[in-house]
Structure formats: structure tokens, C-alpha cells
């Protein structure tokens, strides 16, 4: 009987193992993957799709922002100083703000600047190139006289300011200034 008991015990254990395998097989579908694995795959695929859509939306975004205390207009950010400096000091201050003195591109931008400055005097990024005897923006482009009349200047007035129009001024005069930079796209 001992042999038979040993056989029975052994047989019982193998039946138990066989029933555990059958239970595991019931938790799998026809693909042979466990249920939890399939759920994880579906969830991962869903997250990848959501992230892909988010990236596409961000790439095509038209949300533009400026740093705090800067004003957004079209694609640019503008900052007005409260204190006064010379033209060169003003340009240096703008460069420390990762920007440059204002460069006016068109009449709409000029109207916007007139509106925010309320006809106060501000340095802008315009100066007279003595070598070429032409008014140049700090970006290297020449003043478009079809948009703005060339500022009248006296000897020594080689830097540009804006009041209600573009005006020449001595670069050593201390005025407020306007910095400009591109807006950030979100």
C-alpha cells in the first residue's frame, strides 16, 4: 500500500499542477498572452497615441508668449525702460535681456509703438552710418524711406529716437528705450 499511497500522492500533485496550468490557460485568450499583459499593451498604445497628438498640436501651435513685463504685438515682444541711458548703454541693456533696441518694420508696428509710448521720447535701434551716410537699423538693414521719412539731423545727431515720428538725436543724450525680441511659441 505504501507504493500505492506514494503513487496516489504523486498523482495528486501532478493533477494539482495540471489544474493550475488549466486555470492559467483560461486567463489567456487565443493569442496566448496573459490578460494583464494585453491590458498593459493597450494602455501603452493609448498613451503613445495621446502623446503623438499632443506633439502635433504643439508643433502647429500659434500660442505666442512674452516674458513678464514684456508686451506682445504680433510676433514680437516689447519692453519699455523706466530709467534713462545713452543710446549705446540702452543697446547694451537690451542685449543683456537677450534682445535689441526696437527695429520698426512697418506702419502697423509704428502705430502700435506710438500707442504704447504716448508720444514720449525713446531710443530705438536706428543710427546714421557715417561711412555710407545712410540710416541703418541695428539689424544691418537700411531704413526704408518709402515707409518712414529719413530723420533730419544736425552734426553729431547720429542716433534714432521715436516720439511721434523718427527723429535724430545726439547719442550721448539720456533717454528711455524700447527693447524688442521674438515671442516664444508654445
71 with 55, same domain: the answer is no
69 with 55, same domain: the answer is no
26 with 97, same domain: the answer is no
Tens digit of each residue's pLDDT (9 = 90 or more) over 72-107: 999 999 999 999 999 999 999 999 999 999 999 999
Distant-in-sequence, close-in-space partners of 113: CB < 8 Å, separation ≥ 6: 78, 102, 104, 162, 178
Tens digit of each residue's pLDDT (9 = 90 or more) over 14-69: 455 555 554 544 555 556 778 888 888 888 888 898 887 766 665 665 789 999 99
Tens digit of each residue's pLDDT (9 = 90 or more) over 125-182: 999 998 888 999 999 999 998 888 888 888 889 999 998 889 999 999 999 999 999 9
130 with 46, same domain: the answer is no
Domain boundaries, position 18:
2-59
52 with 10, same domain: the answer is yes
46 with 97, same domain: the answer is no
Amino acid at each position: 500500500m505504501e507504493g500505492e499511497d506514494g503513487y496516489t500522492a504523486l498523482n495528486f500533485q501532478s493533477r494539482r499542477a495540471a489544474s493550475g496550468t488549466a486555470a492559467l490557460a483560461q486567463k489567456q485568450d487565443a493569442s496566448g498572452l496573459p490578460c494583464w499583459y494585453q491590458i498593459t499593451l493597450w494602455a501603452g498604445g493609448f498613451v503613445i497615441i495621446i502623446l503623438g497628438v499632443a506633439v502635433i498640436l504643439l508643433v502647429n501651435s500659434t500660442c505666442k508668449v512674452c516674458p513678464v513685463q514684456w508686451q506682445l504685438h504680433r510676433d514680437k515682444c516689447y519692453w519699455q525702460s523706466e530709467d534713462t541711458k545713452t543710446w549705446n548703454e540702452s543697446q547694451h541693456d537690451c542685449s543683456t535681456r537677450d534682445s535689441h533696441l526696437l527695429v520698426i518694420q512697418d506702419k502697423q508696428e509704428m502705430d502700435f509703438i506710438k500707442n504704447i509710448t504716448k508720444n514720449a521720447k525713446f531710443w530705438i535701434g536706428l543710427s546714421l552710418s557715417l561711412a555710407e551716410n545712410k540710416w541703418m537699423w541695428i539689424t544691418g538693414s537700411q531704413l526704408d524711406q518709402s515707409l518712414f521719412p529719413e530723420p533730419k539731423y544736425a552734426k553729431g545727431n547720429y542716433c534714432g529716437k521715436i516720439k511721434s515720428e523718427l527723429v535724430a538725436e545726439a547719442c550721448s543724450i539720456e533717454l528711455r528705450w524700447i527693447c524688442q525680441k521674438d515671442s516664444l511659441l508654445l
